[in-house]
């Protein structure tokens, strides 16, 4: 079933590594919310070709969606319910920064339709947080999770980042142990990457901070996988781990190729064959919607592009790349190409085939993007 992503493009301060679209000025928050409401109304027929059209997931990302007040969230939900049929069991996730999740804020969220929190902790060490220019403290990281749990919010995922130059192997193990002690059902752990046009890229270029150490990142990933196994977390996607099959339904739908509608500046949408993305400019987004127009670019994916995207997303998951699906959707020639290019990775024990599916081994997960690109058709 389809999902909705809502991009909230505001942050208190800029993390050094972040290349998502956001503004640290909140002066346009009110006109943005008016524009968002109008975009929802204009996109009410986006899923009209879907067999059910029932919304299964809603995800507030950013930026920092936890900057929204209870009343602001209520208006968004009221508009969504006017325009879409939302499942009574829909997963509704809000990304939150620990420094926003004080007792009053958590109480508000517990009384809202939000039923899942994604808390951006990144590290429990103060020096790591300062290096990344995060707004919260280690104490707030822990109290934000415990406070949410005390208010009855149990469906919580936390984000961690590894590969940080200030994070050695011992500290990384301690970060994981602290995460396990919080008894959350889901953990996402991402390798730090240096994106162009970020503060981090500039500081590395100017030799103000150390560059990323690839070997250190590999060691951190190996530790991550081992520690998660010991704690009975399933690695259902390279960066995502959960207990008792408490997968992120929203992100799983991305990896499975489900349709989704993106709302807000820079948000992406996908209808199965076409991809579109909104303009990444708050002022232009607001002004265009004042004139009842959505500024976006659109691309119709070719058969080869759709095959490549299926390889890229499916191979990263526990469900693997289905050769039956490739045959049904793209044809036998695509299956033969895929198997031919996969042979070297079978031999190197990076890939295995089970029940007509291609699955990464733990060794193969270290080079997942390279394997996927080699299976592409250019």
- Give the model confidence (pLDDT) of 280-293 as tens digits: 999 999 999 999 99
Task: State the chain's mean pLDDT as an integer.
Answer: 97
Q: Quick one: pLDDT at residue 49? A: 79
Q: Quick one: pLDDT at residue 1? A: 79
Measured at the alpha carbon of residue 186, what is the angle toward residues 184 and 57, in degrees to the nearest 5?
120
Statement: residue 218 has pLDDT above 80: yes
pLDDT tens-digit series, residues 29-47: 999 999 999 999 999 999 9
The two structure tokens encoding residue 87: 């499942």
Q: Quick one: pLDDT at residue 123? A: 98
Q: Alpha helices, DSSP H only, in 67-213?
A: 70-83, 103-110, 126-132, 138-150, 169-181, 199-205
269: β partners: 276
Angstrom distance (rounded) from CA 187 to CA 241 = 5
Architecture of domain 303-375: Orthogonal Bundle (1.10)
Where do the domains of the chain lie? 3-255, 303-375
Mean pLDDT of 85-100: 98
Q: Tell me, what DSSP letter sits at residue 212?
A: P
Higher pLDDT, 368 or 1: 368
Provide the pLDDT confidence category of residue 312 given band limits of 50, 70 and 90: very high
Q: Quick one: pLDDT at residue 187? A: 98
Maximum C-alpha span of the chain: 58
Mean pLDDT of 113-117: 98
Statement: residue 356 has pLDDT above 90: yes
Provide the pLDDT confidence category of residue 13 given band limits of 50, 70 and 90: very high
Torsion of CA 205, 208, 209, 212, to 10 degrees: 10
Interacting residues of 188 by C-beta distance below 8 A, sequence separation 6+: 118, 157, 158, 159, 160, 239, 240, 241, 248
CA 286 to chain centre: 25
Q: Quick one: pLDDT at residue 250? A: 98
Statement: residue 132 has pLDDT above 90: yes
Provide the pLDDT confidence category of residue 125 given band limits of 50, 70 and 90: very high
Q: Quick one: pLDDT at residue 157? A: 98
115-141 burial, b for 16+ CB within 10 Å, e for fewer? bbbbbbbbbbbeebbebbebbbebebb
Statement: residue 52 has pLDDT above 80: no
The two structure tokens encoding residue 266: 């820079």
Percentage of the chain beyond pLDDT 70 is: 100
Architecture of domain 3-255: Alpha-Beta Horseshoe (3.80)
Q: 176, 183 in Cβ contact below 8 A?
A: no
Higher pLDDT, 49 or 186: 186
Q: Quick one: pLDDT at residue 335? A: 98
> Residue 307 to residues 2, 151, 288: CA-CA distances in angstroms?
20, 44, 34
Statement: residue 51 has pLDDT above 80: no
pTM flag (> 0.85): yes
Q: Quick one: pLDDT at residue 50? A: 79
pLDDT tens-digit series, residues 182-216: 999 999 999 999 999 999 999 999 999 999 999 99
Statement: residue 121 has pLDDT above 80: yes
């Amino acid at each position: 079933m389809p999902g909705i992503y809502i991009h909230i493009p505001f942050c208190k301060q800029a993390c050094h590594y972040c290349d998502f679209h956001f503004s640290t000025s909140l002066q346009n928050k009110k006109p943005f919310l008016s524009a968002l409401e109008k975009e929802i109304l204009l996109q009410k027929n986006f899923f009209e070709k879907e067999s059910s059209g029932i919304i299964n997931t809603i995800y507030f990302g950013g930026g920092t969606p936890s900057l929204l007040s209870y009343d602001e969230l209520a208006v968004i939900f009221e508009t969504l319910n006017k325009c879409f049929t939302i499942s009574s069991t829909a997963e509704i996730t809000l990304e939150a920064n620990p420094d926003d999740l004080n007792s009053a804020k958590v109480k508000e969220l517990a009384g809202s339709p939000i039923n899942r929190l994604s808390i951006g902790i990144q590290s429990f060490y103060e020096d790591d947080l300062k290096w990344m220019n995060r707004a919260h403290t280690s104490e707030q990281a822990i109290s934000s999770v415990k406070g949410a749990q005390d208010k009855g919010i149990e469906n919580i995922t936390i984000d961690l980042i590894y590969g940080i130059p200030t994070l050695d192997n011992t500290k990384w193990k301690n970060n994981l142990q602290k995460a396990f002690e919080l008894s959350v059902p889901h953990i996402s752990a991402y390798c730090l990457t240096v994106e162009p046009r970020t503060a981090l890229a500039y500081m590395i270029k100017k030799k103000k901070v150390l560059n990323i150490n690839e070997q250190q990142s590999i060691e951190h990933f190996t530790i991550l996988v081992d520690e998660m196994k010991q704690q009975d977390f399933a690695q259902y996607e390279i960066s995502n781990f959960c207990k008792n099959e408490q997968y992120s339904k929203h992100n799983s739908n991305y990896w499975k190729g489900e349709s989704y509608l993106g709302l807000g500046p820079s948000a992406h949408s996908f209808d199965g064959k076409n991809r579109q993305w909104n303009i990444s400019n708050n002022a232009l987004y607001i002004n265009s919607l004042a004139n009842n127009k959505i500024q976006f670019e659109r691309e119709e994916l070719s058969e080869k592009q759709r095959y490549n995207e299926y390889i890229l997303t499916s191979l990263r998951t526990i469900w693997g790349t289905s050769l039956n699906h490739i045959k049904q959707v793209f044809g036998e020639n695509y299956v033969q190409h895929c198997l031919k290019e996969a042979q070297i990775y079978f031999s190197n024990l990076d890939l295995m085939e089970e029940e007509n599916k291609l699955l990464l081994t733990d060794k193969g997960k270290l080079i997942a993007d390279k394997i996927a690109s080699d299976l592409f058709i250019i």
